[in-house]
Amino acid sequence: MATQLPESFTQRMQAQLGDEFEAFQQSLSEAAVSSIRVNSAKAQKPANGIPVPWCQTGFYLEERPFYTLDPFLHAGVYYVQEASSMFSEQAFRQLPDEPLKVLDLCGAPGGKSTHIASLLPENSLLVSNEVIRSRAVILSENLKKWGNPNVMVTNNDPKDFATFEGQFDVLVVDAPCSGEGLFRRDENAIAEWSPENTQLCAQRQQRILADVWPALKPGGILIYSTCTYNPGENEENLKWLNEFANVENISLPMKAEWGVTETEAGGLSGYRFYPHKTKGEGFFMAVVRKLDGQTTRMPRKMKSAAFSPASRAEKALVEGWLTGDNLDIFKLNDTLFAFPSKYAAELTWLQKGLRIVHAGVKIGEQKKKEVVPAHELALSPILKRGTFPEIELTLDDAIKFLHRDEIRPEAKERGWHLLTYRNIPLGWAKNLGNRFNSNYPKEWRIRMDITEYLAEKLEEEKAKFPIR
Protein backbone atom coordinates (compact mmCIF):
# COMPACT_ATOMS: atom_id res chain seq x y z
CA MET A 1 0.00 0.00 0.00
CA ALA A 2 1.51 3.30 -1.09
CA THR A 3 0.01 5.44 1.69
CA GLN A 4 2.02 5.65 4.90
CA LEU A 5 0.17 4.45 8.00
CA PRO A 6 -0.08 6.94 10.89
CA GLU A 7 2.79 6.41 13.31
CA SER A 8 0.58 6.31 16.40
CA PHE A 9 -1.62 3.67 14.72
CA THR A 10 1.45 1.57 13.88
CA GLN A 11 2.77 1.82 17.45
CA ARG A 12 -0.55 0.79 18.94
CA MET A 13 -0.95 -2.17 16.56
CA GLN A 14 2.61 -3.33 17.37
CA ALA A 15 1.66 -3.42 21.04
CA GLN A 16 -1.72 -4.99 20.26
CA LEU A 17 -0.44 -7.78 17.99
CA GLY A 18 3.11 -8.40 19.23
CA ASP A 19 4.84 -11.00 17.05
CA GLU A 20 1.95 -10.96 14.57
CA PHE A 21 2.42 -7.30 13.64
CA GLU A 22 4.79 -7.94 10.73
CA ALA A 23 2.32 -10.34 9.10
CA PHE A 24 -0.49 -7.84 9.72
CA GLN A 25 1.51 -5.01 8.15
CA GLN A 26 2.32 -7.17 5.14
CA SER A 27 -1.38 -8.02 4.67
CA LEU A 28 -2.20 -4.32 4.33
CA SER A 29 0.02 -4.12 1.25
CA GLU A 30 -1.88 -6.93 -0.45
CA ALA A 31 -4.94 -6.44 -2.65
CA ALA A 32 -8.31 -6.52 -0.90
CA VAL A 33 -10.42 -9.54 -1.79
CA SER A 34 -13.71 -9.24 -3.68
CA SER A 35 -16.78 -10.93 -2.25
CA ILE A 36 -20.53 -11.01 -2.82
CA ARG A 37 -23.57 -12.36 -1.01
CA VAL A 38 -26.25 -14.00 -3.15
CA ASN A 39 -29.99 -13.35 -2.77
CA SER A 40 -31.19 -16.93 -2.32
CA ALA A 41 -34.71 -15.91 -3.39
CA LYS A 42 -33.35 -15.13 -6.86
CA ALA A 43 -30.21 -17.25 -7.42
CA GLN A 44 -28.08 -19.96 -5.84
CA LYS A 45 -24.33 -19.50 -6.29
CA PRO A 46 -21.71 -17.89 -8.54
CA ALA A 47 -20.09 -19.81 -11.36
CA ASN A 48 -16.60 -19.76 -9.84
CA GLY A 49 -17.23 -18.46 -6.33
CA ILE A 50 -15.29 -19.72 -3.32
CA PRO A 51 -17.59 -20.06 -0.28
CA VAL A 52 -17.18 -17.67 2.65
CA PRO A 53 -17.02 -20.21 5.51
CA TRP A 54 -19.17 -18.27 8.00
CA CYS A 55 -21.90 -17.29 5.51
CA GLN A 56 -23.93 -19.81 3.50
CA THR A 57 -24.67 -17.34 0.70
CA GLY A 58 -21.31 -15.53 0.72
CA PHE A 59 -18.66 -16.09 -1.95
CA TYR A 60 -15.17 -14.81 -2.73
CA LEU A 61 -14.50 -13.96 -6.37
CA GLU A 62 -11.27 -14.78 -8.16
CA GLU A 63 -11.25 -11.32 -9.75
CA ARG A 64 -13.27 -8.16 -9.31
CA PRO A 65 -15.80 -7.76 -12.15
CA PHE A 66 -17.13 -4.48 -13.50
CA TYR A 67 -20.22 -4.69 -11.29
CA THR A 68 -21.96 -1.68 -12.86
CA LEU A 69 -22.35 -3.54 -16.15
CA ASP A 70 -23.93 -6.63 -14.58
CA PRO A 71 -27.76 -6.52 -14.77
CA PHE A 72 -27.95 -8.99 -11.88
CA LEU A 73 -26.46 -6.42 -9.49
CA HIS A 74 -29.19 -3.91 -10.41
CA ALA A 75 -31.85 -6.63 -10.08
CA GLY A 76 -30.88 -7.51 -6.50
CA VAL A 77 -29.57 -10.97 -7.38
CA TYR A 78 -26.49 -10.33 -5.25
CA TYR A 79 -24.96 -7.67 -3.03
CA VAL A 80 -21.29 -6.69 -3.05
CA GLN A 81 -20.32 -7.08 0.61
CA GLU A 82 -17.06 -7.37 2.49
CA ALA A 83 -16.69 -10.98 3.66
CA SER A 84 -15.77 -10.33 7.30
CA SER A 85 -18.99 -8.39 7.92
CA MET A 86 -21.00 -11.44 6.80
CA PHE A 87 -20.04 -12.99 10.15
CA SER A 88 -23.22 -11.53 11.68
CA GLU A 89 -24.96 -14.57 10.17
CA GLN A 90 -23.45 -16.69 12.95
CA ALA A 91 -25.35 -14.65 15.55
CA PHE A 92 -28.66 -15.07 13.72
CA ARG A 93 -28.06 -18.82 13.45
CA GLN A 94 -28.30 -18.99 17.26
CA LEU A 95 -31.76 -17.41 17.41
CA PRO A 96 -34.98 -19.40 17.72
CA ASP A 97 -36.88 -20.25 14.54
CA GLU A 98 -39.86 -18.03 15.33
CA PRO A 99 -41.10 -14.61 14.18
CA LEU A 100 -38.74 -11.84 15.29
CA LYS A 101 -38.83 -8.05 15.26
CA VAL A 102 -35.38 -6.74 14.39
CA LEU A 103 -34.01 -3.19 14.42
CA ASP A 104 -30.90 -2.57 12.32
CA LEU A 105 -30.05 0.83 13.73
CA CYS A 106 -27.20 1.96 11.46
CA GLY A 107 -28.35 0.23 8.30
CA ALA A 108 -26.84 2.13 5.34
CA PRO A 109 -25.80 1.30 2.73
CA GLY A 110 -27.63 -2.01 3.21
CA GLY A 111 -25.17 -4.90 3.40
CA LYS A 112 -26.24 -6.12 6.82
CA SER A 113 -29.91 -5.25 6.31
CA THR A 114 -30.24 -7.24 3.09
CA HIS A 115 -28.40 -10.07 4.84
CA ILE A 116 -30.77 -9.95 7.82
CA ALA A 117 -33.77 -9.86 5.49
CA SER A 118 -32.62 -13.16 4.00
CA LEU A 119 -31.89 -14.76 7.39
CA LEU A 120 -35.06 -13.91 9.30
CA PRO A 121 -37.59 -16.63 10.10
CA GLU A 122 -40.94 -16.48 8.33
CA ASN A 123 -43.39 -13.79 9.51
CA SER A 124 -40.62 -11.60 10.98
CA LEU A 125 -40.25 -7.82 10.68
CA LEU A 126 -37.09 -5.82 9.93
CA VAL A 127 -36.89 -2.11 10.67
CA SER A 128 -33.76 -0.74 9.02
CA ASN A 129 -32.74 2.75 10.08
CA GLU A 130 -30.25 5.36 8.95
CA VAL A 131 -29.90 8.77 10.59
CA ILE A 132 -28.42 10.58 7.55
CA ARG A 133 -31.14 11.28 5.00
CA SER A 134 -29.05 10.80 1.84
CA ARG A 135 -27.76 7.46 3.14
CA ALA A 136 -31.29 6.42 4.13
CA VAL A 137 -32.31 6.84 0.48
CA ILE A 138 -29.46 4.53 -0.61
CA LEU A 139 -30.46 2.02 2.08
CA SER A 140 -34.05 2.11 0.83
CA GLU A 141 -32.93 1.55 -2.78
CA ASN A 142 -30.84 -1.50 -1.89
CA LEU A 143 -33.61 -3.07 0.19
CA LYS A 144 -36.13 -2.46 -2.59
CA LYS A 145 -33.82 -4.29 -4.98
CA TRP A 146 -33.59 -7.18 -2.50
CA GLY A 147 -37.38 -7.37 -2.60
CA ASN A 148 -38.60 -8.42 0.85
CA PRO A 149 -42.06 -7.10 1.85
CA ASN A 150 -41.50 -7.46 5.62
CA VAL A 151 -39.11 -4.49 5.76
CA MET A 152 -39.41 -0.85 6.81
CA VAL A 153 -36.76 1.83 6.28
CA THR A 154 -36.65 4.77 8.69
CA ASN A 155 -34.62 7.97 8.92
CA ASN A 156 -34.23 8.70 12.63
CA ASP A 157 -31.79 9.42 15.43
CA PRO A 158 -31.23 6.46 17.78
CA LYS A 159 -32.95 8.28 20.65
CA ASP A 160 -36.21 8.34 18.67
CA PHE A 161 -36.58 4.59 19.20
CA ALA A 162 -36.56 4.85 23.01
CA THR A 163 -40.31 5.58 22.85
CA PHE A 164 -40.91 2.05 21.59
CA GLU A 165 -39.70 0.44 24.78
CA GLY A 166 -39.02 -3.29 24.64
CA GLN A 167 -40.45 -3.69 21.13
CA PHE A 168 -37.52 -5.41 19.40
CA ASP A 169 -36.26 -8.95 19.84
CA VAL A 170 -32.94 -8.19 18.16
CA LEU A 171 -30.97 -4.95 17.98
CA VAL A 172 -28.15 -4.71 15.43
CA VAL A 173 -25.72 -1.81 15.90
CA ASP A 174 -23.03 -1.73 13.23
CA ALA A 175 -21.68 1.42 14.77
CA PRO A 176 -20.05 4.35 12.96
CA CYS A 177 -16.36 3.96 13.73
CA SER A 178 -12.81 5.12 12.91
CA GLY A 179 -12.63 2.64 10.02
CA GLU A 180 -9.18 1.18 10.70
CA GLY A 181 -10.31 -2.13 9.26
CA LEU A 182 -10.79 -0.47 5.86
CA PHE A 183 -7.28 0.99 5.56
CA ARG A 184 -6.13 -1.22 2.70
CA ARG A 185 -9.18 -0.50 0.52
CA ASP A 186 -9.93 3.11 1.46
CA GLU A 187 -7.14 5.67 1.69
CA ASN A 188 -9.63 8.28 2.89
CA ALA A 189 -10.03 6.25 6.07
CA ILE A 190 -6.29 6.68 6.66
CA ALA A 191 -6.37 10.40 5.93
CA GLU A 192 -9.26 10.97 8.37
CA TRP A 193 -7.78 8.84 11.17
CA SER A 194 -6.40 10.28 14.40
CA PRO A 195 -6.20 9.10 18.03
CA GLU A 196 -8.61 11.89 18.93
CA ASN A 197 -11.11 10.67 16.35
CA THR A 198 -11.05 7.13 17.77
CA GLN A 199 -11.92 8.57 21.19
CA LEU A 200 -14.77 10.60 19.72
CA CYS A 201 -16.04 7.49 17.93
CA ALA A 202 -16.02 5.48 21.16
CA GLN A 203 -18.01 8.18 22.94
CA ARG A 204 -20.50 8.36 20.08
CA GLN A 205 -20.90 4.57 20.07
CA GLN A 206 -21.73 4.61 23.78
CA ARG A 207 -24.23 7.41 23.22
CA ILE A 208 -25.88 5.43 20.41
CA LEU A 209 -26.15 2.29 22.54
CA ALA A 210 -27.49 4.19 25.55
CA ASP A 211 -30.09 6.05 23.47
CA VAL A 212 -31.49 2.96 21.73
CA TRP A 213 -31.15 0.49 24.62
CA PRO A 214 -34.75 0.89 25.88
CA ALA A 215 -36.10 -0.35 22.52
CA LEU A 216 -34.57 -3.81 23.06
CA LYS A 217 -36.89 -6.10 25.01
CA PRO A 218 -35.80 -7.94 28.18
CA GLY A 219 -34.22 -11.17 26.95
CA GLY A 220 -33.49 -9.55 23.58
CA ILE A 221 -30.21 -9.84 21.70
CA LEU A 222 -27.74 -7.07 20.84
CA ILE A 223 -25.33 -7.64 17.94
CA TYR A 224 -22.65 -4.95 18.16
CA SER A 225 -20.00 -4.52 15.48
CA THR A 226 -17.40 -2.13 14.08
CA CYS A 227 -14.91 -2.18 11.21
CA THR A 228 -12.00 -1.03 13.35
CA TYR A 229 -9.15 -2.57 15.37
CA ASN A 230 -8.71 -0.32 18.37
CA PRO A 231 -9.85 -1.66 21.75
CA GLY A 232 -11.41 1.68 22.70
CA GLU A 233 -14.24 1.16 20.20
CA ASN A 234 -14.47 -2.58 20.80
CA GLU A 235 -13.45 -4.29 24.08
CA GLU A 236 -13.63 -1.09 26.11
CA ASN A 237 -17.19 -0.56 24.90
CA LEU A 238 -18.03 -4.10 26.02
CA LYS A 239 -16.72 -3.23 29.49
CA TRP A 240 -18.79 -0.06 29.46
CA LEU A 241 -21.88 -1.97 28.34
CA ASN A 242 -21.44 -4.49 31.15
CA GLU A 243 -21.41 -1.61 33.65
CA PHE A 244 -24.18 0.38 31.96
CA ALA A 245 -26.66 -2.50 31.58
CA ASN A 246 -27.49 -5.93 32.96
CA VAL A 247 -26.34 -8.26 30.18
CA GLU A 248 -25.00 -11.76 29.68
CA ASN A 249 -22.55 -13.10 27.16
CA ILE A 250 -23.54 -15.15 24.12
CA SER A 251 -20.71 -17.23 22.67
CA LEU A 252 -20.72 -18.19 19.01
CA PRO A 253 -19.55 -21.53 17.60
CA MET A 254 -16.22 -21.13 15.89
CA LYS A 255 -13.96 -23.21 13.68
CA ALA A 256 -10.20 -22.79 14.06
CA GLU A 257 -9.65 -22.71 10.30
CA TRP A 258 -11.72 -19.53 10.04
CA GLY A 259 -8.87 -17.60 11.67
CA VAL A 260 -11.17 -15.50 13.87
CA THR A 261 -9.54 -14.18 17.06
CA GLU A 262 -11.72 -14.45 20.16
CA THR A 263 -11.20 -11.80 22.84
CA GLU A 264 -12.78 -11.11 26.23
CA ALA A 265 -13.65 -7.93 28.08
CA GLY A 266 -15.80 -7.51 31.16
CA GLY A 267 -16.88 -11.14 30.93
CA LEU A 268 -18.15 -10.63 27.36
CA SER A 269 -16.76 -12.27 24.22
CA GLY A 270 -15.62 -10.36 21.17
CA TYR A 271 -14.64 -11.69 17.76
CA ARG A 272 -11.86 -10.01 15.79
CA PHE A 273 -11.03 -10.31 12.11
CA TYR A 274 -7.49 -9.42 11.04
CA PRO A 275 -6.53 -9.53 7.33
CA HIS A 276 -3.38 -11.57 8.03
CA LYS A 277 -5.49 -14.32 9.64
CA THR A 278 -8.85 -14.22 7.83
CA LYS A 279 -9.73 -13.65 4.20
CA GLY A 280 -11.35 -10.25 4.56
CA GLU A 281 -10.97 -6.80 6.08
CA GLY A 282 -10.81 -5.73 9.71
CA PHE A 283 -13.97 -6.35 11.72
CA PHE A 284 -15.15 -6.78 15.32
CA MET A 285 -18.40 -8.23 16.64
CA ALA A 286 -19.94 -9.14 19.98
CA VAL A 287 -23.33 -10.62 20.96
CA VAL A 288 -25.03 -10.12 24.33
CA ARG A 289 -28.44 -10.73 25.86
CA LYS A 290 -30.31 -8.00 27.73
CA LEU A 291 -31.52 -9.29 31.09
CA ASP A 292 -33.83 -6.56 32.35
CA GLY A 293 -35.82 -3.54 31.24
CA GLN A 294 -39.39 -2.50 30.47
CA THR A 295 -41.82 -3.21 27.66
CA THR A 296 -44.38 -0.64 26.55
CA ARG A 297 -47.59 -2.13 25.27
CA MET A 298 -48.77 -1.02 21.90
CA PRO A 299 -51.82 1.27 22.29
CA ARG A 300 -55.07 -0.55 21.58
CA LYS A 301 -56.58 2.53 20.02
CA MET A 302 -54.53 4.77 17.78
CA LYS A 303 -55.38 7.79 15.72
CA SER A 304 -55.78 7.08 12.05
CA ALA A 305 -52.55 6.54 10.17
CA ALA A 306 -51.31 8.33 7.08
CA PHE A 307 -52.12 5.15 5.18
CA SER A 308 -55.30 3.08 5.12
CA PRO A 309 -56.35 -0.40 4.01
CA ALA A 310 -57.10 -0.51 0.30
CA SER A 311 -60.77 -0.76 -0.62
CA ARG A 312 -62.23 -3.79 -2.34
CA ALA A 313 -62.35 -1.85 -5.61
CA GLU A 314 -58.71 -0.79 -5.26
CA LYS A 315 -57.61 -4.35 -4.52
CA ALA A 316 -59.49 -5.51 -7.59
CA LEU A 317 -57.25 -3.30 -9.74
CA VAL A 318 -54.21 -5.42 -8.81
CA GLU A 319 -55.96 -8.75 -8.47
CA GLY A 320 -53.65 -11.60 -9.42
CA TRP A 321 -50.49 -9.48 -9.23
CA LEU A 322 -49.16 -10.83 -5.93
CA THR A 323 -48.21 -14.14 -4.36
CA GLY A 324 -48.41 -14.94 -0.65
CA ASP A 325 -51.31 -15.12 1.79
CA ASN A 326 -49.79 -13.10 4.65
CA LEU A 327 -49.76 -9.74 2.89
CA ASP A 328 -52.35 -7.00 2.93
CA ILE A 329 -52.70 -4.06 0.57
CA PHE A 330 -52.61 -0.52 1.90
CA LYS A 331 -53.02 2.89 0.31
CA LEU A 332 -51.04 6.08 0.88
CA ASN A 333 -52.36 8.92 -1.26
CA ASP A 334 -52.50 7.26 -4.72
CA THR A 335 -49.89 4.60 -3.91
CA LEU A 336 -50.77 0.99 -3.22
CA PHE A 337 -48.26 -1.06 -1.25
CA ALA A 338 -48.08 -4.58 0.16
CA PHE A 339 -47.11 -5.14 3.78
CA PRO A 340 -47.49 -8.09 6.18
CA SER A 341 -50.95 -7.96 7.73
CA LYS A 342 -49.41 -9.33 10.96
CA TYR A 343 -47.54 -6.04 11.47
CA ALA A 344 -50.14 -3.51 10.34
CA ALA A 345 -50.59 -2.28 13.93
CA GLU A 346 -46.82 -1.89 14.37
CA LEU A 347 -46.66 0.11 11.15
CA THR A 348 -49.42 2.42 12.41
CA TRP A 349 -47.66 2.89 15.75
CA LEU A 350 -44.15 3.35 14.39
CA GLN A 351 -45.18 5.94 11.81
CA LYS A 352 -46.44 8.15 14.65
CA GLY A 353 -42.92 8.68 15.98
CA LEU A 354 -40.59 7.82 13.10
CA ARG A 355 -39.85 9.13 9.62
CA ILE A 356 -40.66 6.18 7.38
CA VAL A 357 -38.83 6.22 4.06
CA HIS A 358 -40.61 3.15 2.77
CA ALA A 359 -42.54 0.17 4.10
CA GLY A 360 -43.23 -3.14 2.38
CA VAL A 361 -43.28 -3.30 -1.41
CA LYS A 362 -44.85 -0.58 -3.51
CA ILE A 363 -47.31 -2.19 -5.93
CA GLY A 364 -48.00 0.86 -8.05
CA GLU A 365 -49.59 4.27 -8.51
CA GLN A 366 -53.31 4.49 -9.09
CA LYS A 367 -54.13 6.61 -12.12
CA LYS A 368 -57.84 6.81 -12.84
CA LYS A 369 -59.03 3.23 -13.31
CA GLU A 370 -55.66 1.53 -13.61
CA VAL A 371 -52.52 1.03 -11.54
CA VAL A 372 -49.10 1.74 -13.03
CA PRO A 373 -46.86 -1.07 -11.72
CA ALA A 374 -44.00 0.10 -9.49
CA HIS A 375 -40.42 -0.71 -10.35
CA GLU A 376 -39.76 -2.32 -6.98
CA LEU A 377 -42.64 -4.75 -7.54
CA ALA A 378 -40.78 -6.11 -10.57
CA LEU A 379 -37.78 -6.90 -8.33
CA SER A 380 -39.76 -8.52 -5.52
CA PRO A 381 -40.47 -12.24 -5.17
CA ILE A 382 -44.06 -11.32 -4.28
CA LEU A 383 -44.76 -10.51 -7.95
CA LYS A 384 -46.79 -13.31 -9.49
CA ARG A 385 -44.94 -14.20 -12.66
CA GLY A 386 -47.13 -14.71 -15.71
CA THR A 387 -49.57 -11.94 -14.78
CA PHE A 388 -47.86 -9.59 -17.24
CA PRO A 389 -46.40 -10.46 -20.65
CA GLU A 390 -42.63 -10.82 -20.41
CA ILE A 391 -39.82 -9.85 -22.77
CA GLU A 392 -36.39 -11.44 -22.45
CA LEU A 393 -33.61 -8.94 -23.18
CA THR A 394 -30.13 -9.48 -24.53
CA LEU A 395 -27.25 -8.20 -22.42
CA ASP A 396 -26.88 -5.17 -24.70
CA ASP A 397 -30.56 -4.27 -24.40
CA ALA A 398 -30.52 -4.91 -20.65
CA ILE A 399 -27.68 -2.43 -20.19
CA LYS A 400 -29.44 0.09 -22.45
CA PHE A 401 -32.61 -0.30 -20.36
CA LEU A 402 -30.65 0.22 -17.12
CA HIS A 403 -29.08 3.30 -18.72
CA ARG A 404 -32.57 4.52 -19.67
CA ASP A 405 -31.76 4.42 -23.38
CA GLU A 406 -34.42 3.55 -25.93
CA ILE A 407 -34.88 -0.13 -26.70
CA ARG A 408 -37.15 -1.71 -29.32
CA PRO A 409 -37.84 -5.32 -28.35
CA GLU A 410 -40.43 -7.33 -30.22
CA ALA A 411 -43.86 -7.51 -28.60
CA LYS A 412 -47.30 -8.43 -29.93
CA GLU A 413 -49.35 -6.97 -27.08
CA ARG A 414 -49.68 -3.37 -26.05
CA GLY A 415 -49.47 -2.25 -22.44
CA TRP A 416 -47.10 -3.05 -19.60
CA HIS A 417 -44.44 -5.71 -20.08
CA LEU A 418 -42.04 -7.19 -17.53
CA LEU A 419 -38.51 -7.01 -18.92
CA THR A 420 -36.15 -9.80 -17.89
CA TYR A 421 -32.53 -10.78 -18.37
CA ARG A 422 -31.90 -14.53 -18.16
CA ASN A 423 -35.37 -14.83 -16.60
CA ILE A 424 -34.58 -12.34 -13.81
CA PRO A 425 -36.91 -9.29 -13.79
CA LEU A 426 -35.26 -5.93 -14.41
CA GLY A 427 -38.28 -3.62 -14.56
CA TRP A 428 -41.21 -2.43 -16.65
CA ALA A 429 -41.76 -0.91 -20.07
CA LYS A 430 -45.04 0.01 -21.75
CA ASN A 431 -45.58 -0.91 -25.38
CA LEU A 432 -47.37 1.97 -27.09
CA GLY A 433 -47.26 0.36 -30.52
CA ASN A 434 -44.66 2.60 -32.12
CA ARG A 435 -42.31 2.73 -29.13
CA PHE A 436 -41.68 1.52 -25.57
CA ASN A 437 -41.89 3.81 -22.54
CA SER A 438 -39.40 2.82 -19.83
CA ASN A 439 -40.52 2.84 -16.21
CA TYR A 440 -36.97 2.50 -14.85
CA PRO A 441 -36.32 5.05 -12.05
CA LYS A 442 -34.18 7.94 -13.27
CA GLU A 443 -32.32 8.11 -9.97
CA TRP A 444 -31.28 4.44 -10.26
CA ARG A 445 -30.00 4.51 -13.83
CA ILE A 446 -26.43 3.69 -14.85
CA ARG A 447 -24.76 7.09 -15.20
CA MET A 448 -21.45 6.15 -16.84
CA ASP A 449 -20.93 6.33 -20.60
CA ILE A 450 -21.67 2.82 -21.91
CA THR A 451 -20.94 3.48 -25.60
CA GLU A 452 -17.56 1.77 -25.80
CA TYR A 453 -18.80 -1.26 -23.88
CA LEU A 454 -21.78 -1.75 -26.16
CA ALA A 455 -19.45 -1.47 -29.15
CA GLU A 456 -16.88 -4.10 -28.17
CA LYS A 457 -16.16 -4.71 -24.50
CA LEU A 458 -19.42 -6.00 -23.01
CA GLU A 459 -18.89 -9.69 -23.82
CA GLU A 460 -15.40 -9.46 -22.36
CA GLU A 461 -16.81 -8.06 -19.12
CA LYS A 462 -19.63 -10.62 -19.10
CA ALA A 463 -17.06 -13.40 -18.72
CA LYS A 464 -16.12 -11.89 -15.34
CA PHE A 465 -19.68 -11.56 -13.99
CA PRO A 466 -20.07 -13.69 -10.84
CA ILE A 467 -23.35 -15.39 -11.83
CA ARG A 468 -23.25 -16.51 -15.45
Q: Active-site residue 55, yes or no?
A: no
Phi, psi at residue 227, to the nearest 5°? -115, 50
- Is 89 part of any known ligand binding site? no
Query: Residue by residue, what is the 3-state secondary structure of the chain?
Result: CCCCCCHHHHHHHHHHHHHHHHHHHHHCCCCCCEEEEECCCCCCCCCCCEECCCCCCEEEECCCCCHHHCHHHHCCCEEECCHHHHHHHHHHCCCCCCCCEEEECCCCCCHHHHHHHHHCCCCCEEEEECCCHHHHHHHHHHHHHHCCCCEEEECCCHHHHHHCCCCEEEEEEECCCCCHHHCCCCHHHHHCCCHHHHHHHHHHHHHHHHHHHHHEEEEEEEEEEECCCCHHHCHHHHHHHHHHCCEEECCCCCCHHHCCEEEEECCEEEEEECCCCCCCCCEEEEEEEECCCCCCCCCCCCCCCCCEECCHHHHHHCCCCECCCCEEEEEECCEEEEEEHHHHHHHHHHHHHCCEEEECEEEEEEECCEEEECHHHHCCCCECCCCCCEEECCHHHHHHHHCCCCCCCCCCCCEEEEEEECCEEEEEEEECCCCEEECCCHHHCCCCCCHHHHHHHHHHHHCCCCCC
Q: Is 328 within any annotated ligand binding site?
A: no
Q: How far is CA 236 from the centre of its chain?
A: 27
**Is 169 annotated as a binding-site member?**
no
Please give the positions annotated as active site.
227
